[in-house]
Amino acid sequence: MERSDIISIAKSTLEIEISELEKLRDRLNDDFARAVEIIHSAKGKLIVVGIGKSAHVGNKIVATLNSTGTPSQFLHASEAIHGDLGVIQKQDVVLCISNSGNSPEIVNLVSYLRDYSSALIGMTGNKTSKLAEFSEIILDTHVDMEACPNKLAPTSSTTLQMALGDALAIALMEMNDFKANDFAKFHPGGSLGKNLISKVNDFLSSQKPSVTENDTVKDVIISISGSRHGITVVTNNDEIIGVITDGDLRRMLLKGDDISKVLAKDIMSANPKTIERTALAKEAMNILKENNIGQLVVTENGKYFGIIDLHKLLDEGIN
């Protein structure tokens, strides 16, 4: 098979699924809005039930809902009929996902899902199925064509389930007025959370190199060499006067002047870029990038507090 044939197959797959998504978009109606309202007003959590490929989709929907402010839990249909139904409380809402709506496990389960919960919402491609019969609301995910050439592997149908789950999550986010800082609370260990909530203080260097304005070049070299940042801060009682980098030292030496009388104030760069320790780490990264520098002087109430390093932020996923 030629590469062009492979690309053609991929494009055809996407075209089929895009077409089915457009149909789903066009048939959305008040049933979807009612489902969102029921989930939003529930006193309990959302239980998402599925089996087979729908179970994988259900797990993803639960993950998205939990991270966007809608408490949810996945329940596998085959486990539910063997004891796990106890996870459902009367104040919970159930979203059951099944393309056919007539899988044996679903057929055996739907009456319990309805009776044990406050509401049963069915996401199915078959509006005459057992799942549809027992559901208070039906979210219609039928497809005219699966992308699979044998019409066997769930492809378009699972794409619609996934997309409709995202639509539910986003609508609920808006109803809950769920903001970026709320999102970050549920992602403290990932780069998303770190970029949204981490402060400069979280990534401060343990080293705090400094010299006074009247220190000699030797003092400056010792200070810079004593830290791994290639910089020292010129201070006067913690007031920041300037900075000296190893690049400043090299440029001074290249001039060939007598360095025995050169003081820190003679080679420093005045008015260095600074940031408060309580600022977001992302703000520090932006300053570093915009000014093409590797270190930033950190302050507390305007006084010298420490150093934050570009590489440390990159290593921690701040971008």
Check whether residue 160 and residue 46 sit in a common domain.
yes
Flag whether 125 is in a domain: yes
Q: With beta carbons less than 8 A apart as the criterion, state whether 74 and 59 touch.
A: yes
Q: What is the mean pLDDT of residues 37-41?
A: 96
Check whether residue 13 and residue 61 sit in a common domain.
yes
The phi, psi pair for 293, rounded to 5°, reads -125, 160
Whole-model pTM: value is 0.68
Flag whether 186 is in a domain: no
- What's the pLDDT score for residue 276? 93
Check whether residue 204 and residue 139 sit in a common domain.
no
Closest among 233, 52, 3 to 157, alpha carbons compared? 52
The phi, psi pair for 206, rounded to 5°, reads -75, -10
Check whether residue 241 and residue 146 sit in a common domain.
no
Express each pLDDT in 9-20 by its tens digit.
Answer: 999 999 999 999
Name the 3-class secondary structure at 257.
coil
Average pLDDT, the chain: 90
Burial of 283 (0-12, 13-18, 19+ CB in 10 A): middle
Express each pLDDT in 180-226 by its tens digit.
Answer: 666 666 655 555 666 667 888 888 888 899 999 899 988 888 998 88
Flag whether 187 is in a domain: no
pLDDT above 90 as % of the chain: 61
Q: With beta carbons less than 8 A apart as the criterion, state whether 185 and 69 touch.
A: no
Express each pLDDT in 229-288 by its tens digit.
Answer: 889 999 988 899 999 988 888 888 887 667 778 888 888 989 899 999 999 888 988 998
Flag whether 71 is in a domain: yes
Task: Answer yes or no: is 56 a known binding residue.
Answer: no
Structurally, the chain folds into a number of domains equal to: 2
CA quadruple 305, 309, 314, 316: dihedral sign: negative
Flag whether 195 is in a domain: no
- What's the pLDDT score for residue 259? 78
- What's the pLDDT score for residue 87? 92
- What's the pLDDT score for residue 199? 86
Check whether residue 15 and residue 107 sit in a common domain.
yes
Q: What is the mean pLDDT of residues 134-160?
A: 93
| Long-range CB contacts (within 8 A, 24+) of 291-295 | 294/229, 294/230, 294/231, 295/229, 295/230, 295/231
Check whether residue 164 and residue 298 sit in a common domain.
no
230 or 129: which leads in pLDDT: 129
Q: In what order do the strands lie in the sheet with 93-98?
A: 72-76, 46-50, 93-98, 119-124, 137-140
- What's the pLDDT score for residue 152? 75
- Report the CATH number at residue 258: 3.10.580.10
- Report the CATH number at residue 78: 3.40.50.10490
Where in the sequence is the domain holding 34, given as residue range(s)? 3-178
